[in-house]
Structure 1
Amino acid sequence: MERNAPIQHKGKKLDYTAEANFENEEQAREFYKIAKKRLLHPYDWYRIANLPGAKFVITDHEGRDLIRKMREGDLLRIDIPGPGNSTGDGFDWVQIEEISEHIEEPTVESCSVTVRPAANPREKDNTEVAHFFKNIATSTFLVKREKTRLKAEYHGRNELVNLEVDKLSDKLRNALVGLLAKLGLSTPQWKSLIEGFVDTKSKTE
């Protein structure tokens, strides 16, 4: 499903896939609704991943919490384990750039979300990206049903460490977090999250 992710130009790229198979299309269609709901409600991602990792909160353009499914233009406030980003008030921030749905009834239906590093919405006069990656980077999450098969995918593209920050502490922190990501320490969480989207035994819906 490469076409669901932005084009890779430079930096690191990541791809993870998980799937579940069902006895018939009716079962697959019903579970697709659950997987789609899991995808669009990131405040549940911490539980879905079932691993100690990042926590996600949807906010508006003022940085105020929103308890609903995500929409294009919303932001996600990310609390990752370890030192925080002072530019982001201790958090990393991304904007929900695109939510795309595709339907080819009755055999295919999909929903994807692409996010991109963004500035801290609480600091209106500061346009500096509050994330350990530059804003050329994107993360795309996808759930898709093809007949009786359900797939979940993650595509990270153009992952370049963000050292274009004013504060030395943030530069050092971003370099450290970016290095750990490059070494694969973020892999278990993304892998577990993607598997969680299609986990038929999970009670998170």
Structure 2
Amino acid sequence: METNKLTNDPGASHVPPQQIGSEMNAVEKIELSSEAEAVHFFNIVKERLLDVNRWRQLAGGVMSDFFLTDGAGNPVQRKATGGDHIRIDIPGPGSLAGEGYDWVTIEEIKSEMLDDAEVLSMTARPSANPLGDSKDTAHFLTDQATSTFQVKRIGHTIYAEEHGRNEVPNTDTDLSLDNVRNTFVGWGAKIGFSYPQWKALVEGLLNNNRKPDKL
């Protein structure tokens, strides 16, 4: 464990290293009037992060639709856990391999407590369609890519972040139509078309003016 690195940037070690393709970072923060208020609101923010089915609502409806499923691809109405999948309905033509959707698996959910900071991170990776027989990655990016969704509290400041790493378009599948589709969607993501939706999500996670969430 790199103690100094974690102290200077809590949660940094939760984000996979950038090695290939492109990366993206969407970051938002909010400062509360006291640490006690920040601790209370951070509990709400953590619940929001794990409530994948509400992501579109939290983002103000300006992003793709996200649906939480269990490991077998069955829709579930609960908070996310490791091993779950997320079925994504992005604007435009869907993936044939994903039966109209893009799929990721939630590889890991990590929480960490430090002296005056706490972090919750969820890392997702493109995956095969759990409802199909094919082992091909059903996503416009290869399974080298990851998205780490992270919320953290440092004192009375709360951060919400999305860190995309190793983003390479998935253009070597057995389905030529998917290869073409993934080229265009991946190219759009690479030049920043996906940034606005992640920015809207991290802003929504920290929206302190909305009707109180039920914990």
TM bin (shorter chain): over 0.9
Q: 1:88 to 1:204 in 2, by over 3 A?
A: farther
Deviation string 1:90-122 (CA, Å, 9 cap, x unpaired) is 0000000010001125x2111000000000001
Equivalent residue for 2:48?
38
Structure 1 residue corresponding to 2:148, chosen from 120, 140, 144: 140
Partners of 1:51 and 1:189 within 8 A in 2: no
CA distance in 2, matches of 1:61, 1:33: 26
> Does 1:111 find its partner at 2:152?
no
Equivalent residue for 2:5?
none
Unaligned runs of at least 5 residues, structure 1: none
Deviation string 1:58-83 (CA, Å, 9 cap, x unpaired) is 11222110100000000000011111
Residue 202 of structure 1, CA deviation: 2.4
Q: 1:189 corresponds to which letter in structure 2?
A: Q
Equivalent residue for 1:5?
15
Residue 204 of structure 1, CA deviation: 6.6
Unaligned runs of at least 5 residues, structure 2: 1-8
Q: 1:116 corresponds to which letter in structure 2?
A: R
Equivalent residue for 1:187?
195
Residue 185 of structure 1, CA deviation: 1.1
CA distance in 1, matches of 2:126, 2:211: 31
> Does 1:126 find its partner at 2:151?
no
Secondary structure in structure 2 of the residue aligned to 1:88: coil
Q: State how 1:1-205 maps to structure 2 within 5 Å.
A: 1=9, 2-104=12-114, 107-123=116-132, 125-203=133-211, 205=213
Secondary structure in structure 2 of the residue aligned to 1:102: strand
Coordinate RMSD, CA, aligned: 1.2
CA distance in 2, matches of 1:157, 1:189: 16
Secondary structure in structure 1 of the residue aligned to 2:182: helix
Q: 1:53 corresponds to which letter in structure 2?
A: M
- Which segments of structure 1 move beyond 6 Å, counting only runs of 4 or more? none
Report percent identity of matched pairs.
41
Equivalent residue for 2:4?
none
TM-score when normalising by structure 2: 0.91
Q: 1:115 corresponds to which letter in structure 2?
A: A
The count of residues paired between Structure 1 and Structure 2 equals 203
Deviation string 1:138-189 (CA, Å, 9 cap, x unpaired) is 0001110111110111100000000121111111110110111112111110
CA distance in 2, matches of 1:204, 1:44: 14
TM-score when normalising by structure 1: 0.96
